Chains A and B, each alone.
Chain A
Amino acid sequence: MASALPQRKVSLPPEEKAQSSSKVPSQVSAVASAASQAEHPAPRGLRIDVHGAVVGFGDLAVLRRLELSIPPGQFLAVVGRSGCGKSTLLRLLAGLEQAAEGSVALGGAAASGLRPDVRVMFQDARLLPWKTVLDNVRIGVPGGDRAKALAALELVGLADRAKEWPSVLSGGQRQRVSLARALAAEPSLLLLDEPLGALDALTRIEMQSLIERLWQERRFTAVLVTHDVGEAVALADRVVLVENGTIAQDVDVALARPREKDGGFTHYENTILNRVLARLPPDASQTGFSI
């Protein structure tokens, strides 16, 4: 599986990599993102502004006056306990739900319904079992151009499986096909609804670096919904915590890419996790006991 993945193209020069392991990450990440932006054209991601959004099912309000702005090209992770409304937020951005109150603007214009430059990757790959891998990817290409679909399959390293049925692929391969389908038309916003939740740990790490690499190459805006705080910190520029239908915490993750599980990483992970679980940091609880 690992050997099937294409080689990482974006990598940091050695001196930057050396810095990234030290604990002054904010500068480094600025350097790193500047470097990768110099390599690629200006971000073509969508800007997102959600203002006072209310979404409810019957009497139950799932999102309550939610405020969120995402600059173009940012990788945002949305974390929270199950049932907090994070998936509803994603469906709202996708145009699959409508806000009862408030507004959603994509790229400055008020959003209405589904858009061709917004793609969603679901938790289950949702491939059509009666279409071959290539034909599944062609759904994502306007006009169904074969060459474009094949190019998208090449991106995820599955061009050699183009003629097979989805039922013979592994879970990770199916998600890669689903990623190829989502990226085939070069979207400006990619919404990821716990796409790695059902994968095993190793496949998940591979998928994370694949998603990160493709995001770095293409500079679309990405919104990842996940319950795994580690995954959020590993991938995102910024992590927001959704609680009771509003944003309860907003953290900028100033770590250089590619990210390693070092002290800085653990710091962010713990900060967010403590907030999610509503528990005090260890040193604070110790002072509590000492009184």
Chain B
Amino acid sequence: MSQTTSYKWLTRTCSILLEWAIPVLTVALWQWLGSMEWISSRILPTPAAVVQAGWSLVENGQLFTYIGDSTQRAFIGFAIGGGIGFALAILNGLLPLSEKLTDSSIQMIRTIPHLSLIPLIIAWFGIGEQGKVFLVALGVAFPIYLNTLHGIRSIDHGLIEMGRTYGLQGLALFRSIIFPGALPSILVGLRFSLGIMWITLIVSETISSDSGIGYMAMNAREFFQMDVVVLSIIIYALLGKLSDWMAKQMERSWLQWHPHFRKGK
């Protein structure tokens, strides 16, 4: 028994080591090249300098304010856009009339690169919160919409028929068959849109903002604080990784029935 647990522990450690080997080696190499002064600190500061810059920003409290501002924007936009995309997909997946009415319009809007709307957004909303939230919402709505719709379409029709013969209708049918059947696709859409959420936020904060990580980076560039610029890039990477991890946890806890996501396999 203890042998199998220690074996499990060993394989877990190995998989974590493998996962983190490349990032850790890259940072080590970067520090070494910087400290040998083969890379000028005016071009790329060393990891140690970045950590130091981060620490001083933590000490004066600015870092958390900025991360908080950015995260809040990201998730408000995500909730609005994701909610709209999800609702539209459910409507269009279940009602052919609604699909006929709205689907081709949605497909047209979808093909517009949403970041190209930035000039228009600045003209409409200025550099306030609404513009950035609007852009994030617009960006995340479509992956959620497309994947949810695909999920509803790909449900085995036999299962729905089975549900009907057992008297499942309306909300009960949706709750026990349609939603869980579409959930794997919905979660794929969720992962896509989390990525788009951060990209949109970075771009819109860099162009027009007075707080947030993007603002921190642009402000630091004005004063040539390269360490802060690099720090903000790393924070984006970590936030992106964090949201991907969250999506993975959702898959693991909600899709336990799916052989692909079963724990311990």
Tell me the A residues contacting B by CB distance below 8 Å.
94-96, 114, 116, 118-120, 122, 124, 126, 128-131, 139-140, 142, 165-167, 181
Contacts and interface: CB of A to CB of B under 8 A. Distances in A.
B257 A119 contact: no
B257 A94 contact: no
B44 interface: no
A58 to B, nearest CB: 19
Nearest to A166: B257
A130 B257 contact: yes
Contact of A126 (B159, B180, B181): B159
A279 to B, nearest CB: 35
Given A130-B180, A130-B181, A167-B259, A139 B161 contact: no
B180 A116 contact: no
B208 to A, nearest CB: 44
Contacts of B165: 94-96, 114, 118-120
A126 B167 contact: no
B176 A122 contact: no
A197 to B, nearest CB: 14
B257 A139 contact: no
Given A131-B257, A140-B166, 18 more contacts: A94-B165, A95-B165, A116-B167, A118-B165, A122-B162, A126-B161, A128-B159, A128-B177, A129-B257, A130-B181, A130-B183, A130-B255, A139-B176, A142-B167, A165-B257, A167-B257, A167-B258, A181-B166
B120 to A, nearest CB: 43
Main secondary structure, interface of B, reads helix
A95 B167 CA distance: 12
B162 A126 contact: yes
Contacts of B177: 128
Contacts of B257: 129-131, 165-167
Contacts of A114: 164-165, 167
Interface string B171-182: 000001100110
A119 B161 CA distance: 12
Given A114-B165, A122-B162, A140-B166, A128 B180 contact: yes
Interface string B247-259: 0000000011111
B181 A96 contact: no
Contact of A122 (B158, B163, B181): B158
B167 to A, nearest CB: 6
A139 B163 contact: yes
Contacts of B176: 128, 131, 139
Nearest to B156: A126
For the complex of A and B, the 3 pairs showing the least CB-CB separation, nearest first, are: A126-B162, A130-B180, A130-B257
